[in-house]
Amino acid sequence: MRTFFVWITMLTFVSLIHQNSIAQNFVKVEAIFQNEPLELGKSYFFNTEKDCVKIEILKFYLSDFSLWNNKVLVFKSTQLPVLIDLKKPESKILPLELPNNLTFNTIKFNLGIDSLTNVSGAFGGDLDPTNGMYWTWQSGYINFKIEGTSSISPARKNIFQYHLGGYLAPYYGLREIKLPVSNPETIHIILNLSSFFEYVASKEIYQVMSPNQKAMYVADEIAKLFSVQL
């Protein structure tokens, strides 16, 4: 019994110290189009008003956040991958519990789900297959999903669909993203989609729904669209 009390006291003590040394930071993720926050279902005109795009669904996984100071790893998140869904504004704010007084100048994270998670069976929460981010005709998470209509797309009803994924070489869809950050309490990650529709989406590439060469190209291009607001 006495040992039990000693344990409880120790645990309380440890948890108090623990609380004191942790700062509540956030990663905020924002998709923008033409320098404003992206609105789903809104028509955006581009290519000197010639073309029009309407985005209906935008969902993607971010995983394995880590912070670096001049190439030295100072923090690694143990969080499971998180699903950013533009339809759910709360999904765009990710709490990050960092030790106090941490100095860092670079953030690294992955766009997508790693191979090991992809072969480890069913997970709940953000990884639950009911989120519409898991393929059914073959195994694998969809790392990045964007759907809507665009005058560029030659498909029926001008639909475009990009379901990017793949967990096996040569079509491994995960992309590592490394960005400079200053040291604020909130790290504001921006995904700028205007240039995707100006330069990447085309009448040849408007529908990518399996892990293949096109998917790898589009994933490379999407990864370049991330930045951090300094």
Partner 1 sequence: MKQRTLFLFSIITFCSAFGLLKYNSLELPKHFPKPYFDFEKESLTNAKIQLGRTLFYDPILSSDNSISCASCHSPYNAFAHTDHDLSHGINDSVGFRNAPALFNLAWQKSFMWDGAVNHLDMQALAPISDSKEMNETIENIVLKLNKNPHYAHLFYAAFSDSLATGSRTLKALSQFQLTLVSCNSKYDKVKEGKTKFTSQEKKGYELFKKNCNVCHTEPMFTNYGFANNGLPVDPTLNDFGKYRLTKNSKDSLLFKIPPLRNLKYTYPYAHDGRFKKIREMLNHYTNGIHIQPSLSKELKKPIVLSSNEKSDLLCFLLTLNDSTFVFNPLNKFPQTISSGKEGK
Q: How far apart are CA 61 and CA 164, in angstroms?
A: 11
Is cis: bond before 170, omega within 30 of 0?
Answer: yes
Closest separation in Å from C-beta 230 to partner 1: 39
Among 117-125, 147-155, 157-165, 191-199, which window interacts with partner 1 (CB under 8 A)? 117-125
CB atoms closer than 10 angstroms to residue 104: 19
Closer CB to partner 1, residue 183 or residue 212? 212
Minimum Å distance from CB 135 to partner 1? 8
Binding mask 8-47 for partner 1 (x = CB under 8 A): ----------------------------------------
Binding of partner 1 by 153 (CB under 8 A): no
Give the chain's end-to-end CA distance (angstroms, integer).
55
For partner 1, which residue of 6, 212, 220, 224 counts as binding (CB under 8 A)? 212
Question: In this chain, which stretch among 33-41, 75-83, 113-121, 182-190 interacts with partner 1, using CB under 8 A?
Answer: 113-121
Sign of CA dihedral 110, 111, 112, 115: negative
Closest CA to 230 of 188, 192, 194, 197: 188
Write the CA distances from 60 to 20, 75, 132, 193, integer angstroms.
33, 23, 11, 13
Q: Which is nearer to partner 1, 1 or 122 (CB)?
A: 122
Site for partner 1, residues 121 to 140, rule: CB under 8 A = 121-124, 127-132, 134, 136-140
User: Cα-flanking dihedrals φ and ψ of residue 193, to 5°?
Assistant: -90, -10
Q: Which is nearer to partner 1, 117 or 150 (CB)?
A: 117
